[in-house]
Structure 1
Amino acid sequence: MKTTQILSLLIFALIICSCSSTKETTTEGLFDTEWELEYISGPRIAFSGLYPDKKPKIKFNEATNKVEGNNSCNGYSADFTLNGAEISFGEPGPTTMMYCGEGESTFLNTMEKVNRYTVDDEGKLNLMIDDVPMMRFKKSTQE
């Protein structure tokens, strides 16, 4: 009798947990928005030191499957692929060649490693490596 109750409780808990973890990632809000970087994981330099004058921006073009933006110094463009919550970025195309510190390379190197994304309840875009947020963007006020 006691084993049956415990087993029933475990099955019920499993059902509840599985239902809450099947939240589907949608592309709603990803397109038609310019996103401004507000956090990047990894570098030993403070965020304000990496991007003292201008923060990187990214914009997803659904029609061409390209992202375009500014990596704080130079413009960039790259292909992207979405598959549910999975995302990958192609090699950035030609950019202007100004050197503006380590922020640009940190941004582009991190983008190459990203494999997942979410748009959270606060409307922030999180680019992640597996389940670890590496870059967080807010909607840009200047488009």
Structure 2
Amino acid sequence: MKKIITLILIAISTLTACNTMKKGQSSEKLTGNWELNYITGVRIAFNGLYPDTKPSLNFKAPFKEVSGNSSCNGFSTKLEVNGNKMTVSQPIAITMRHCEGEGEQRFMDMLKKVTAYSIEGNTLTLLQDDIAVMKFTKK
């Protein structure tokens, strides 16, 4: 009986350790520079929104802040990452260069709505609940 209980406890400990490692590995994969290649809810073609520079994000551990470029202005803001959940704090500090078109505003509005993320290979997907709202490629 003691052997069975010991085996069950070892199995539970192993499964818990594996799940913890997966969460840590996932957030570590977030580190680095990412370039936008998809944004939802826009009626203008992606290349029309971002003809010169695509928006980008730069994540550094311990994931308390995210910085990047909105396609026109640089920005920085506080960030909260817990497992695969992500919250971008408001307000966002941003430079004040005049930007043509609506690409920057669309990107910043969507960034504020992010609630989670997933990473598969070199693709970062930002989600609003369970809906993909933006996708990025690792640079």
Q: TM tier, shorter chain?
A: 0.7 to 0.9
Q: Greater CA deviation, 54-63 or 36-45?
A: 54-63
Give the TM-score normalised by structure 2: 0.78
Considering fraction of residues, name the structure with more helix: 2
Q: Deviations over 1:83-109 (max 9, x none)?
A: 111100012113223222100000000
The question of 1:111 aligning with 2:111 is answered yes
The question of 1:100 aligning with 2:100 is answered yes
Equivalences for 1:41-80 in 2 at 5 Å?
Answer: 41-63=40-62, 65-80=64-79
Give the TM-score normalised by structure 1: 0.76
CA distance in 1, matches of 2:76, 2:68: 7
CA distance in 2, matches of 1:85, 1:73: 28
Which residue in the other structure is 2:130 paired with? 131
Q: Deviations over 1:15-71 (max 9, x none)?
A: xxxxxxx8x54212211x110000000111110010000100100122471111110
Q: Which residue type is aligned with residue 53 of structure 2? A: K
Q: Secondary structure at the match of 1:58?
A: strand
CA distance in 2, matches of 1:100, 1:85: 34
CA distance in 1, matches of 2:63, 2:135: 23
Change in 2 beyond 3 A, CA 1:98/1:37: same
Gapped runs of 5+ residues in structure 1? 1-21
- Provide the aligned C-alpha RMSD in A: 1.8
